[in-house]
Amino acid sequence: MYIRFYRILHFTMLIFIASCNLLSAQTIHNAVNKQSVKNKLTSIDTFPKFNANNPIHLDEVMVTAQKRTELLQKVPMCITVFSGNEVEQFKLWKNKDISGIVPNLYSADPGDDRSITSIRGITSTSYDPTVATYIDGVNQFNLDTYIPVLFDVDRIEVLRGPQGTLYGRNAMGGVINIITKQPTNDVAGFAELSFGNFNQSRFAFGLKTPVVKNKLFVGASFLYQGRDGYYTNDFNNRSYDRQHSFSGNYFLKYLLNEKWHIDLNIKHFGGKNDGPFPLTVGLEDAFATPFKLNQNAITKMHDNTLNTSLAIHYKGRVDFSSVSSFQQNYRYYSTPIDGDFSPIDAIAVENNYGREWNNIKAYTQEFKISAPASASNKLKWVVGTYLFNQNAPVKQATKFGIDANLLMMGDSLFALLSTQQSVKKGFALYGQITYPINQNLTITVGLRNDFEHQQQSVTGFYQHDPSPDYFISFPDTAAAISYSAFSPKITFDYTFNNGAVLYASYSKGYRTGGLSPLSSDPSQPPLVGYKPEFSNNLEVGYKQQLLQNKLSINLAAFYARIYNAQVPTLILPDAVTVTTNTGKLNSTGIEAEVKAIPLKGLLIQYAAGLTDAKYAKLELSQQNQSNDLSEKRPVFTPYYNSSLTIQYAHNSRNKNIGTYIRSTLKNIGNTYFDLHNTLLQTPYALLNVSLGLTVKKSTIEIWSKNTLNNKYIAYAYDFGAVHLGDPLLFGLTLTAKF
Mean pLDDT of 148-157: 93
Report residue 212 CA to chain centroid gap: 36
CA distances from 51 to 364, 478, 511, 595, 721 (A): 40, 61, 43, 18, 47
Residue 16 has pLDDT above 50, yes or no: no
pLDDT reported for residue 623: 58
Lowest mean pLDDT: which of 510-514, 518-522, 709-713?
518-522
Confidence band of 409 (pLDDT split at 50, 70, 90):
confident
pLDDT reported for residue 39: 34
CA distance 156 to 107: 15
Looking at the DSSP bridge assignments, the partners of residue 444 are 434, 491
Query: Of 525 and 687, which is predicted with more confidence?
Result: 687
Backbone angles phi, psi at 188, to 5 degrees: -145, 150
Task: Determine what percent of the chain is predicted with pLDDT higher than 70.
Answer: 91
Looking at the DSSP bridge assignments, the partners of residue 534 are 510, 563
Question: Mapping DSSP to helix (H, G, I), strand (E, B) and coil, where does residue 625 land?
Answer: strand
Using a 10 angstrom Cβ sphere, with 0-12 exposed, 13-18 middle and 19 or more buried, the burial of residue 187 is: exposed
* Domain residue extents for the chain: 2-737
Residue 204, C-beta contacts closer than 8 angstroms, at least 6 positions apart = 151, 152, 190, 191, 192, 221, 222, 223, 224
pLDDT reported for residue 29: 35
Residue 150 has pLDDT above 50, yes or no: yes
List, for residues 221-274, the tens digit of each pLDDT value.
999 999 999 999 999 999 999 999 999 999 999 999 999 999 999 999 999 999
pLDDT reported for residue 620: 78
Confidence band of 582 (pLDDT split at 50, 70, 90):
confident
Residue 373 has pLDDT above 80, yes or no: no
Lowest mean pLDDT: which of 101-115, 183-197, 369-383?
369-383
pLDDT reported for residue 113: 87
pLDDT reported for residue 348: 93
Query: Of 496 and 2, which is predicted with more confidence?
Result: 496
CA distance 25 to 733: 45
pLDDT reported for residue 168: 86
List, for residues 466-512, the tens digit of each pLDDT value.
888 889 999 999 999 999 999 999 999 999 998 999 999 999 999 99
List, for residues 440-452, the tens digit of each pLDDT value.
999 999 999 999 9
Lowest mean pLDDT: which of 142-156, 158-172, 528-542, 568-582?
568-582
Mean pLDDT of 429-438: 95
Q: Omega of the bond prior to 573 within 30 degrees of 0, cis?
A: yes
Mean pLDDT for the chain?
88
Residue 304, C-beta contacts closer than 8 angstroms, at least 6 positions apart = 268, 269, 270, 271, 329, 330, 331
List, for residues 304-361, the tens digit of each pLDDT value.
999 999 999 999 989 999 999 999 999 999 999 998 899 999 999 999 999 999 999 9
Residue 17 has pLDDT above 70, yes or no: no
β pairing state of 174-180 and 131-135:
parallel
CA distances from 617 to 562, 579, 635, 675, 691 (A): 10, 16, 15, 12, 50
In three state form, how does the secondary structure of 440-506 look? CEEEEEEEEEEEEEEEEEEEEEEEECCCCCCEEEEEEEEEEEEEEEEEEEEEEEEECCCCCEEEEEE
pLDDT reported for residue 580: 86
CA distances from 130 to 63, 167, 189, 533, 657 (A): 22, 12, 36, 10, 45
Looking at the DSSP bridge assignments, the partners of residue 250 are 220, 266
The dihedral built from the CA positions of residue 574, 579, 583 and 584, taken in this order, carries a sign that is positive
pLDDT reported for residue 40: 34
pLDDT reported for residue 33: 36
DSSP 8-class letter at 59: P
Residue 55 has pLDDT above 60, yes or no: no
Helical residues (DSSP H) of 280-423, grouped into ranges:
283-288
Confidence band of 35 (pLDDT split at 50, 70, 90):
very low
pLDDT reported for residue 11: 37
Query: Of 4 and 277, which is predicted with more confidence?
Result: 277
CATH class of 2-737: mainly beta
Residue 15 has pLDDT above 70, yes or no: no
CB 432 within 8 A of CB 410: no
CA distance 611 to 630: 17
Residue 9 has pLDDT above 90, yes or no: no
Helical residues (DSSP H) of 169-326, grouped into ranges:
283-288
**First-to-last C-alpha distance (Å) of the chain:** 44
List, for residues 603-641, the tens digit of each pLDDT value.
999 999 999 999 999 987 665 667 888 999 999 999 999
* pTM of the shown model: 0.90
- H/E segment holding residue 392: strand 380-400
Lowest mean pLDDT: which of 262-276, 396-410, 638-652, 676-690?
396-410
Question: Mapping DSSP to helix (H, G, I), strand (E, B) and coil, where does residue 629 land?
Answer: coil
Q: Omega of the bond prior to 466 within 30 degrees of 0, cis?
A: yes
pLDDT reported for residue 26: 33
pLDDT reported for residue 622: 62
